[in-house]
Structure 1
Amino acid sequence: MDDRGLRLDGVCAGYPARRGHGERRVLDGLDATAAPGALTVLIGPNGAGKSTLLRTMAGLQPALDGRVLIDGAAIESVPASELARRLAVVLTERDLPALLTARELAGLGRHPHTGFTGRLSAADGEIVTWALEAVHAVHLADRPVTELSDGERQRVLVARALAQQPSAILLDEPTAFLDVTSRVALMGLLRRLARERGLAVVVSTHDLELALRVADRIWLLAPGGLLHAGTPEELTARGVIGAAFDGDDLSFDPASGVFVLQTGSGGRVRVTADDIHRPLLERALAREGWRTAAVRRTGEAAVRSARCDAGADSGADSGAGPGPDGEAVELAVRRTGNGYVAAFDGDVIRFATIPELAAWSRHAADTLRETPPTLRPATPLTVSGAVSDVSTVGGYFELGIGEVEAGWRPLTDLFTDTGVLEKRIADVAERLNTTETRVAASILFQGIAARLWSPPLGAAIAHDLLIDLDPGRIHWQAAPSGPLPLRATGLDGWQVRDPARVTERLHHTVVTGLLEPLAAAFQAVVKIAPGLLWGNAASALAGTVRTLARVRPERSDTAVTLGRELLDLGPLRDTGELAEPAPGHPFFVRRSCCLYYRLPGGGKCGDCALIAPGTRHEQWARAIRESQGAR
């Protein structure tokens, strides 16, 4: 066993019995080692006994039981003159001799090595210079101690301890009166000296966060007189740091190694930001009562989530939802290239600065305490998983998520660039072999409407998840045939707690946000009746519901109910009826013609307003029998 350094062997520290007072044991049964070459930091709550333990280790007060060993020898057995050469002590000293220079103060450390006169020899002077150099204080040598800053004074006191040429140094709260920069510099100096000089350095401090970052070993004095010894990581993992220091307002976060506000009354928030912005946002929101939610991501899930995050810079992050990738949250915040965005109860709000965001979050927290949100932000992973699943239903439901490559165009081009829309209509007319521009426009509009209805309707019905198709983040690509290819550069999503929110949200997302500007663009290019376009939009909606009822029969009732509610809103009202002649078999009866019969060789579509009721019912019956396997 290596006897070097300082060792506690069953030490009991406290105060012996005095007249009228019994013995008082502050600490009992302590076993720990401060090894040479390591910085050992002593921490603990106020009143835990840190100063009492240091004074006992320094021999300034006797141990009530057990032994303090220095280099294998009990300190009480070491002559005072010899102990002064082996052990240096730096206490919290505010009042120092006023007439001394920094060199003279450091020189006091040589007195255990001088003769009766106490005069320093040339060799002693060289050692004092070396000690000042070691702490980077040579430039202070001739300055009066009274003119030194707190940080400079502490350096000189450490130089005085080094001048003793000890094997161990004890320091009691050396950073107590220093600013942040000086505290970090001094602790870094002590660690360097321990390693370079092979010293056993034990320092007490109240600066827990700094101690956990710089210490090689931690001695934690917990309430009750227990001493926990280990590396910062070991003690953090064991939970003893949080147990010792957590309070009503602050709690120790083991992941970041810092204390965070423990108000939590505003709900849970997920913050997505890089570099310094994430802790800044978390602290600002914590002051307003928000608690940062835990996120658990591993393996492929983390990779896919990261891909989604990378493509979502222009909008609010979806936040963490319930499931394997994180806690459910009420608020999600993301830093973007030009500010910050927050997602709360179905709304996405943008802010230029953190103070603006924090001020708004205070009101959001008040709202949350009164009325829980009915829409919760969903994680990018949850959104992408739902979209990926729905995409397997068919071509109209496919929606890619990620960065777009060459050949993809913003969906807004179809709304704002008449030349682009005219070209698309002409391509459809050529493919259908018709000169009827209105027919081509009608069919193109219905195809795009089906593409815009299918992914959000599928996610809502199959996963109780609302996705926001932001036109600025949706791209399309020309294709010779089939459904229009769509790709999203990130999607916001909401998990539904109140089904009553689904209908109005889907109407806002698809009809107000996408189909209304699309219909206006079509009407600017082609003279086409609004009723025809909205009949097509309703037919596209009904076709989506019909497909989902067939593919996901367990959600058929939900699909039909939602379809009927949507058909009763805004421009979709009075466009037709979603009938259900048999459970799970919805059919649409539209009230306006889509002009499909105008195509060469065309006829009546399944929703056609021109089909006689009797014929329609026969078609329905045949379709139901075929879906059930009957002929």
Structure 2
Amino acid sequence: MDERGLRLEGVCAGYTARRGHPERRVLDGLDATAPSGALTALIGPNGAGKSTLLRTMAGLQPVLAGRVRIDGVAVESVPAAELARRLAVVLTERDLPALLTARELAGLGRHPHTGFTGRLSAADGEIVTWALEAVHAGHLADRPVTELSDGERQRALVARALVQEPSAILLDEPTAFLDVTSRVALMGLLRRLARDRDLTVVVSTHDLELALRVADRIWLLAPGGVLHAGTPEELTAQGMIGATFDGDELSFDHASGVFVLQAGSGGSVRVTADDVHRPLLERALAREGWRPSPVRGADAGEPSAPVEAVGEPSVRSGPVEAAGDGDSPPPAGPELAVRQAGDGYLAAFDGDVMRFAAISELAAWSRRAADALREAPPALLPATPLAVSGAVADVSTVSGYFALDIGPIVAGWRPLADLFTDPGVLETRIGETAARLKTTETRVAASILFQGIAARFWSPLLGAAIAHGLLVDLDPGRVHWQAVTGGPLPLRATDLDGWRVRDPARIAERLHRTVVSGLLEPLAAAFQRVVKIAPGLLWGNAASALGGSVRTLARVRPELTEAAVALGRELLALGPLRDTGELAEPEPGHPFFVRRSCCLYYRLPGGGKCGDCALTDPDTRHAQWARAVRETQGAR
């Protein structure tokens, strides 16, 4: 058996009986080994007995029971002069002799090797020089110790210990008065010396995180005098570190090896950022009470299974929706999502997305969000990109009006915002539509083009909301379109954000904000700058596109009809959609939209009246509905 190093064998450390005071045992039954060639860190809370154990190991106070062995020999059996050659001790010393230089201070360590006179020989001087160089303090040799910084003094004291040429060095809180850089440098120095000189180095420290990163072995003195020994990883995995040091405010994070704020009451946050910013963001948000989500950038639940594609509708019939498992509630997720975006940060909370230039601004805002969360749970939870893409992919299988690609933006794709801001783009699209419809009336082409684009906006968003309980943010700055000669307008995004619905009452308001306020209102204003067209006509077309989406959804997924009709009616009662028409249901499961304004469809060559024309008399309309119901039932 290798007997090198320091070994505790059933050690009892404490204080012997004194006049009027009985023996007091601080630690009892300790067994552990500090091997040679390794740095062993002695850690534990205040009052655990670290200094008492260190002094007992050094022979500065007697062992009450058991044995402390150095290289296999009991410390108490070694004569003092011999022990000084085997064992060096570095205590926390703030007051050092003022008239000594660093070389003279280090030279004191040669005392166990000098004769009666204590004079240093040339060989002793060479050892002192070597020791100062070994601790990177050679340049300090002639400096008075009173002119040294705390870190420089500690290096000189370690050099004094090396000058003894011991096999073991014990250090009591050597980093106590050092700054962060000096603490790291000194601990790194001690580990290097242990390995290069095959020394046994035991250092007591309160710098827990640094000890766990640098030390080869850990002696952990837990409350109650229990000593746990092992590598930093072993004690961490066993839960010993957390069990000993966790408090009301801080807890030890096993993965990162640092102390973090205890989980606050603000809720859960998902942070998406690079490896540098993510821990910084999580730390700043933790101070405001937010708990990091255990899942980063992954889906909170699986997307619903896709449905079979149905036939592509015409411009007049409106879009079709994809079906998912509408009866299953969406899984819970974090209440707050934060994403690094360029040189700033985006925060999503309860349906709102905020942008911040600095982490400090984000943290201050998150404190108010945490307060709001304590008042009431949010109705909308930020969905992960995987959840959004899964819902969109499902919806996209239904028809071209529901297709929303997620992929890289290559040549030929233009930002969706161009339709709102570039009159030339819109004029070209209206002209192409007129040519396709064989009409010279710009208003007619503009009316039908607007309805087709409105159908593209309503379809994927309404479908994801009804079939998946997920609200997609169709941001015109992140969505692109591609010019085609006919058919639905192609849409593509690199990625999309969205919200999982906790409170269904928020769906209509949020959809209205996204589609009507965010997309259709700026689109209508752009159309009116290009073509002289009545707002009522455009909003009637937007409502007709919505009604077509609801109707087709009911045909494809009959079990979702009730929810689709209810949501459609809610939307038709909001903002500029109000009084544009009504969603009738003459027979359960078969909704039809009746508009109150004309769309000019009749002015197309051979156009006639559209299916929801305001001019159709009631008897004819009911006959058309009955025929449509029969055709739908026959198709099934």
Is the counterpart of residue 496 in structure 1 residue 506 in structure 2? Answer: no
C-alpha distance in structure 2 between counterparts of 1:20 and 1:390, whole Å: 86
> The residue matched to 2:248 in structure 1 has which SS?
coil
Aligned in 2, Cα 1:479/1:109: closer, same or farther, shift over 3 Å?
Answer: same
Question: Deviation at 1:536?
Answer: 1.3
Corresponding residue number in structure 2 for 1:517: 522
Corresponding residue number in structure 1 for 2:61: 61
C-alpha distance in structure 2 between counterparts of 1:255 and 1:608, whole Å: 65
Match of 2:457 among 427, 445, 452: 452
Q: Following superposition of structure 1 onto structure 2, how do residues 196-345 of structure 1 map, counting pairs within 5 Å?
A: 196-262=196-262, 264-295=264-295, 328-345=333-350
Corresponding residue number in structure 2 for 1:408: 413
Q: Which runs of 5+ in 1 are unaligned?
A: 303-322
Corresponding residue number in structure 2 for 1:177: 177
Query: Does the CA-based 8 Å contact 1:376-1:496 persist in structure 2?
Result: yes
Aligned in 2, Cα 1:175/1:544: closer, same or farther, shift over 3 Å?
Answer: same
C-alpha distance in structure 2 between counterparts of 1:196 and 1:608, whole Å: 91
Question: Deviation at 1:330?
Answer: 2.5
Give the TM-score, by structure 2 length.
0.90
Q: Following superposition of structure 1 onto structure 2, how do residues 87-126 of structure 1 map, counting pairs within 5 Å?
A: 87-126=87-126
Aligned in 2, Cα 1:214/1:547: closer, same or farther, shift over 3 Å?
Answer: farther
Deviations 1:24-80 (A, max 9, x none): 332233332222222211111111111122112222223333322222222223333
The range that moved more, 503-512 or 617-626, is 617-626
Match of 1:617 among 604, 607, 622: 622
> The residue matched to 1:579 in structure 2 has which SS?
strand
Structure 2 residue identity aligned to 1:370? E
Query: Does the CA-based 8 Å contact 2:300-2:331 persist in structure 1?
Result: no
With CA pairs under 8 Å and 6+ residues apart, which has the higher RCO, 1 or 2? 2
Q: Following superposition of structure 1 onto structure 2, how do residues 463-478 of structure 1 map, counting pairs within 5 Å?
A: 463-478=468-483
C-alpha distance in structure 2 between counterparts of 1:328 and 1:61, whole Å: 58
Is the counterpart of residue 361 in structure 1 residue 377 in structure 2? Answer: no
Query: Does the CA-based 8 Å contact 2:50-2:221 persist in structure 1?
Result: yes
Question: Which runs of 4 or more aligned residues in structure 1 lie more than 4 Å from their structure 2 counterparts after TM superposition?
Answer: 296-302
Cα root mean square deviation, aligned? 2.5
C-alpha distance in structure 2 between counterparts of 1:199 and 1:367, whole Å: 58
The range that moved more, 439-448 or 594-603, is 594-603
C-alpha distance in structure 2 between counterparts of 1:287 and 1:485, whole Å: 45
Identity %: 83
C-alpha distance in structure 1 between counterparts of 2:589 and 2:222, whole Å: 65
Structure 1 residue identity aligned to 2:112? P
Corresponding residue number in structure 2 for 1:538: 543
Match of 1:443 among 423, 443, 448: 448
Corresponding residue number in structure 2 for 1:590: 595
Deviations 1:250-284 (A, max 9, x none): 12222222222236133333333335433333333
Question: Deviation at 1:622?
Answer: 3.7
Corresponding residue number in structure 2 for 1:306: none
Query: Does the CA-based 8 Å contact 2:301-2:331 persist in structure 1?
Result: no
C-alpha distance in structure 2 between counterparts of 1:239 and 1:544, whole Å: 56
Corresponding residue number in structure 2 for 1:127: 127
C-alpha distance in structure 1 between counterparts of 2:247 and 2:610, whole Å: 69
Aligned in 2, Cα 1:134/1:475: closer, same or farther, shift over 3 Å?
Answer: same
Query: Does the CA-based 8 Å contact 2:272-2:297 persist in structure 1?
Result: no
Structure 1 residue identity aligned to 2:57? M
Aligned in 2, Cα 1:550/1:217: closer, same or farther, shift over 3 Å?
Answer: farther
Corresponding residue number in structure 1 for 2:2: 2
The range that moved more, 117-126 or 558-567, is 117-126
Count of residue pairs the alignment pairs up: 610
Q: Which runs of 5+ in 2 are unaligned?
A: 303-327
Query: Does the CA-based 8 Å contact 1:295-1:327 persist in structure 2?
Result: no
Query: Does the CA-based 8 Å contact 1:294-1:326 persist in structure 2?
Result: no
Query: Does the CA-based 8 Å contact 2:298-2:384 persist in structure 1?
Result: no
Aligned in 2, Cα 1:159/1:443: closer, same or farther, shift over 3 Å?
Answer: same
Question: Deviation at 1:299?
Answer: 11
The range that moved more, 120-129 or 192-201, is 192-201
Structure 1 residue identity aligned to 2:514? T
Aligned in 2, Cα 1:234/1:554: closer, same or farther, shift over 3 Å?
Answer: farther
Deviations 1:178-211 (A, max 9, x none): 1111111111111111122121211111111211
C-alpha distance in structure 1 between counterparts of 2:451 and 2:274, whole Å: 42
Question: Deviation at 1:143?
Answer: 1.4
> The residue matched to 1:580 in structure 2 has which SS?
strand
C-alpha distance in structure 2 between counterparts of 1:500 and 1:105, whole Å: 78
Query: Does the CA-based 8 Å contact 2:299-2:384 persist in structure 1?
Result: no
> The residue matched to 2:477 in structure 1 has which SS?
helix
Is the counterpart of residue 351 in structure 1 residue 373 in structure 2? Answer: no
